[in-house]
Amino acid sequence: MNRSGFAGLLEYVRENWPHLLSLTWDHVVMVLCGLGLALIVGIPLGILCARREKLAPVILAAANVVQVLPSLALLALLMIVLGLGFKTIVVGLFLYSLLPIIRNTYVGLKQVDAGIAEAGKGVGMSQLQLLAKVQLPLAMPFLAAGLRLAAVIAIGVATLAPLIGGDGLGREIYSGLNMRNDVKIYAGAIPAAALAILADALLGRWQGRFGKRKVRL
């Protein structure tokens, strides 16, 4: 192991940055696809939970079962059904992000003051208008918190992608592990961690924007 330490890492990155960049890009794309799907499915499920109180425990329990499965186990199970590849990892990330988004949409909608919801109805908003103009905007701080949590989890889980034929920064980490090459491990792990921190910070700021306007009467 002649090339090691910080200087080694710098040199490795300088030589391989196009490759690392492309892996980072793959990583981000996987996460975005998974999160996007989770938003598309999770928000309506969260709304359904808030509307039909009897369904809420069922939906939340189902999402929770997915969440408690170890990530590796979930991905392995998905691979059995869906085979190897990008599609499988996106489905895995989607399932993993679902719970925080459903739960936070549900909680966010439930905390909207009943009086404000009734005011909306009373001034003549249809159910859909009430949801779009009043309830969802007021649930946004909660939804943003859910998305933030989901994003951080998904970036972490996505490092497992190479095990089921995906790409991303995990590829660099695993090849480092196989070759006993510390530099490669760092070169994969550090950007993955940085991505998670960046996502957390950016979404945190976004979430904070809602907080300012949010008022309790």
Partner 1 sequence: MIRFTGVNKEYDDGHQVLKDLNLEVKEGEITVLIGPSGCGKTTTMKLINRLIEPSSGRIEIGGKDIAAFDPVALRRKVGYVIQHIGLFPHMTIAQNVAVVPRLLRWDKSKTAARVDELLSMVGLEPKVYRNRYPSELSGGQQQRIGVIRALAADPSIILMDEPFSALDPLSREQLQDELIRLQHELKKTIVFVTHDMDEAIKLADTIILMNGGTIVQTGHPDRILRHPANDFVKNFIGKKRLQEEGRRRVFTTVDQVIADQPVTALPTRGLAEAVKMMEKKRVDTLLIVDPSNRLLGTVSIYRVLDHYGDEGKTLADVMTPVRHAVKTNTPLSVALNLMSEHQLSNLPVVRGEGEFVGLITRGSVVSHLADVYANPEGGEEVHAG
- Which positions lie near partner 1, rule CB under 8 A? 115-116, 118-126, 129, 133-134, 137-138, 213-215, 217
| Smallest distance, partner 1 to C-beta of residue 141, A | 10
Q: Nearer to partner 1 by C-beta: 71 or 104?
A: 104
b/e map of 147-180 (b: 16 or more CB within 10 Å)? bbbbbbbbbbbbbbbbebebbbbbbbbbebeeee
Q: Nearer to partner 1 by C-beta: 141 or 162?
A: 141
Radius of gyration (C-alpha) of the chain in whole angstroms: 21
| Smallest distance, partner 1 to C-beta of residue 216, A | 8
Packed helices 71-82 and 86-110: angle between N→C axes, nearest 10 degrees = 120
Structure tokens at 158: 């996505």
Would you tell me how many other CB atoms lie within 10 Å of the CB of residue 11?
13
| Smallest distance, partner 1 to C-beta of residue 139, A | 10
| Smallest distance, partner 1 to C-beta of residue 23, A | 40
Q: Nearer to partner 1 by C-beta: 87 or 121?
A: 121
Q: Nearer to partner 1 by C-beta: 20 or 139?
A: 139
Q: Nearer to partner 1 by C-beta: 86 or 210?
A: 210
Spatial CA neighbour of 90 closest among 67, 69, 106, 74: 74
| Smallest distance, partner 1 to C-beta of residue 129, A | 7
Would you tell me how many other CB atoms lie within 10 Å of the CB of residue 102?
27
